[in-house]
Amino acid sequence: MQLYNTLSAEERAELIDQAGKQRLTLSFYAYAKIQDPKQFRDALFLAWNSLDALGRIYVAHEGINAQMSVPAEHMEAFRETLEAYDFMQNIRLNVAVEHDDHSFLKLTIKVRDKIVADGLHDDTFDVTNIGTHLKANEFNQILADPNTIVVDFRNHYESEIGHFKGAITPDVETFRESLPIIREQLKLHKEDKNLVMYCTGGIRCEKASAYFKHLGFKNVFQLEGGIINYAKQIKEEGLESKFIGKNFVFDHRLGERITDDIVSQCHQCGKPCDNHTNCLNDGCHLLFIQCDDCQDAMENCCSQECLSITHLPLAEQVKIRSGKQVGNKVFRKGKSEKLTFKHSGVLSDISLAKAQETTDIRHKINLKQREKKLLLGKISHYYVKAQVGLFELENEQLHTGDTLLIVGPTTGNEKLVLTKMAVNGLENTVAKTGDKVTFEVPFRLRLSDKVYKILPQDLN
C-alpha cells in the first residue's frame, strides 16, 4: 500500500509536461474535530494519489489545511473524496486566479499538532466560534465605515507586496506572533470598533476571529475565503478592488497579481518590484524581492558573499555549510541586514509603478529549475574511503566533460563536472546504456540517489 511519494519533483514535472493536460491550483481548509488524524491522512493519500492530485496538506485534531494542484478532468472525482466526510460537504474551494501546472510537484500530507500554529494553551478557546463572514461587496462596504479597523493576519513578506488599503500590517514572521501584538493594540476597542480581518485563503483569520471573540470583542468580521476568494468575486461582479498589489501564495509561483500596482521595491536596488525569489546559495535560501536586473547581476543571490560561495567548487560549498543546515533555521523569510530596501510593518498604499506584461512565472523561481536534465540512473554503491560512486547507465551516452546533477532526500541537489570515469572497471571517456560507471565525487552519496545529466540549452 503506497502511502508516500515515489517520484522526485523533477520526474513529476516531466510527466506533467508530457501529459499536456490542464491542472487547477486550489486551496481549502476546514476546522473540525478529527479523532484519528493519522488514519485520516492515510485515507486521503490513497484517494488523492489515484487522481494524480498533488499538494501540501496538513491535518490535525482541529481540522485540515490544503494547497493543491488537481487535474481539471478529475475535479468532480476530487470533490467526491472531500464530500465523503461530513465536515467537508459543500466545502469552498479557493481556485487560484493564475494557474501553473507546476505549482505543486509532490503529494505531501503531514500530521501536525495544529493546522495553524497559534502558540495558545487555552482549553476554553473554541476555534469553531468564529466571526461573521463577509463577501467581497460586504467587505468593501464595511471598510468605508470610520469605526472599522482592518487587520492583515499574514506575515511581513506577504503583506509587503500587497495588502488592503489602510490595514494594520504587523511586522511578524509567524501567525502566532501577530496575536499578542494585535491584542495589545486593540485592547481598548472591544466594543466600539468593527474588527475586520483577512489573510490569504481564510484559515488564519478564521482562527483569529474565534480568538478575539473569545477575548470579548463584540463586532468581529472576516473576509470569507480570504484574498483568493475576494479576487475572484471582484472580477466576477465588477467591483472595485480595495486590495492593492500582489497576493503572496505558498507554491512555486510565490504570488498572483490582483491589481497591476507594484507597492514594494527590489530589496537590493530599490527599483519598484514585487517578485520574490530564494537565494541560490544552498546554505542561505533567503526569501527576498529581486528585480530582473539584480537577478542577472547577482545570479539569484542575496549578497556578494552568497554569490562568491556559489562560484566555489561544490566540495568547498559543502564544507562551508557543514553543520549549519538545521531545517527551517537556514531558510529565512526576508530579514537580513544585507537587504538595503527591505520594508516591514507600516506599509504605504501608494503604487510605485504599474506591472508590465506578465513573464513566465517559473522564470522567477530559480535558475536551477530552468535547467533541462536527463535521468541516467541511480547510485547502487558508494565507496566511502575512496569517495567514489557507482551506477548503471540506463539512458543515452555519457561523456567526460558532461555535467551531472545528483539528487536525493538526504543528499539534496549536488552538481559536478565529470572529469574522469571508469566504465566497466576501465578508464574511459564514453559510457553507453548498460555500462557500469564509477566516478569520484567530493560529497557523500546515498543508495538510490538519482543521477541526471544536464542538457545544453538556450536560456534566452
The amino acid present at 303, given as its one-letter code, is: S
List beta partners, residue 391: 379, 437
**Residue 368 to residues 9, 266, 395, Cα–Cα distance (Å):** 13, 21, 22
Mark 395-410 as b/e (b = at least 16 C-beta within 10 Å). Answer: eeebeeebebbbbbee
* Set of cell numbers at residue 238: 465588477
Strands 132-134 and 220-223: parallel
Active site residue 302: no
The Cα 203–Cα 116 span in angstroms is 8
| CA-based nearest residue to 353, from 414, 265, 226, 232 | 265
Contacts 24+ apart (CB under 8 A), 400-405: 400/429, 400/430, 402/453, 402/454, 403/453, 403/454, 404/376, 404/439, 404/451, 404/452, 404/453, 404/454, 405/371, 405/373, 405/451, 405/452, 405/453, 405/454
Cα angle value 204/210/216 (rounded, 5°): 135
**Coil vs helix vs strand at 218:** coil
E strand or H helix at 309: helix 304-310
The Cα 398–Cα 405 span in angstroms is 13
The Cα 56–Cα 215 span in angstroms is 32
**Coil vs helix vs strand at 11:** helix
List 199, 279, 301, 306, catalytic entry = 199
Q: Using CA of residue 238, residue 239, residue 240, residue 241, what is the dihedral sign?
A: negative
Cα(first)–Cα(last) distance of the chain, in Å? 44
* Set of cell numbers at residue 87: 465536515
Catalytic residue IDs: 199
